[in-house]
Amino acid sequence: MSLQAILDAIRASSDAQVREIEAATEAEVQKIMVQDQAETKRLRQEAYAAASAPGAAERARILGRARLKAQRILSEAREDLIDDAIDQARKRLASIRDDPIYPAILRQLTEEALANLEGSLGEAEKPQLAVDPRDQQLLESILSNMGLDLPVSGELDCWGGIIAKSDDSHVIVVNTLEGRLTRAMPYLCRCLSALIEEDQPKPSTDQFKVTSEV
């Protein structure tokens, strides 16, 4: 073999070794890069989670406070609406004596009071009736139309209605407008609250959403 052939063979062998080393080096570099990328991603995710946790807790606290505030505002508004409705009812009842329908109302209240008192009276006992002085003449007319002759006193100071009692006052039936409203108050409050609740739009969590960038 000539000297040139030997040199060419050595050079070829060296080139092959260099390429092999380069390929191995490139593969190792790629492996390291992939590992580094995975590690970087893991570290980034851990850092994001660590940074987000306090923010999420704070958002939850803000959301909770917002919901409580909204509930309090709705509750106060509901109470105001109920109070206003009851106040309007009081005003209406306080002036109902001037309404043409009042004689019919007083007659109905009188019939109810007498019916409730009837079972508590002795055989010869007569109900004792009391009304506001403004209603005394009207009640006497109503009793006359009912074919009843009962004692009536104008000792009350009320919006309207009647009190019927036994001779000894041991049994008293209060059927005044104020008394009726007082007895009906729990029912009215429940009904008004239910009506107001139906009219309220359903709250959306979007209105309480708190966003932040990490």
pLDDT in tens, 29-43: 566 666 666 766 676
CA distance 50 to 206: 25
Q: What would the mean pLDDT of 103-130 be, rounded to a whole number?
A: 90
Tell me: pLDDT of 212 over 50.
no
Question: Which residues are CB-neighbours of 145 under 8 A, at least 6 positions away?
Answer: 107
Radius of gyration of the chain (CA): 46
Instruction: Name 182's bridge partners.
Output: none
Rounded to the nearest 5°, which phi and psi values hold at 9? -65, -45
Of 132, 169, 125, 172, which is closest to residue 153 (Cα–Cα)?
A: 132
Res. 104 pLDDT band, cuts 50 70 90: very high
Mean pLDDT of 88-113: 94
Q: What is the mean pLDDT of residues 8-17?
A: 53
Straight-line distance from the first to the last Cα atom of the chain, in angstroms, rounded to the nearest whole number: 73
Give the residue extent of every domain in the chain. Answer: 1-214
Q: Cα separation of 214 and 205, whole Å?
A: 22
Q: Are 169 and 121 in contact (CB under 8 A)?
A: no
pLDDT at 208 over 50: no
The amino acid at 43: L
Exposed/middle/buried for 155, CB within 10 Å: 0-12, 13-18, 19+?
exposed
Residue 210: which pLDDT band, with cuts at 50, 70 and 90? very low
Tokens 């007569």: give the residue: 126
Higher-scoring residue by pLDDT: 80, 179 = 179
- Residue 140 confidence (pLDDT) above 80: yes
DSSP letter string over the chain?
--HHHHHHHHHHHHHHHHHHHHHHHHHHHHHHHHHHHHHHHHHHHHHHHHHHHHHHHHHHHHHHHHHHHHHHHHHHHHHHHHHHHHHHHHHHHHTGGGSTTHHHHHHHHHHHHHHHHHTTS-TT---EEE--GGGHHHHHHHHHHTT----EE----SSSEEEEE-TTSSSEEEEEHHHHHHHHHHHHHHHHHHHHHHHSPPP-GGGG------
Mean pLDDT of 16-24: 56
Q: Please say if the pLDDT value at position 3 is more than 60.
A: no
CATH C-level class of 1-214: alpha beta
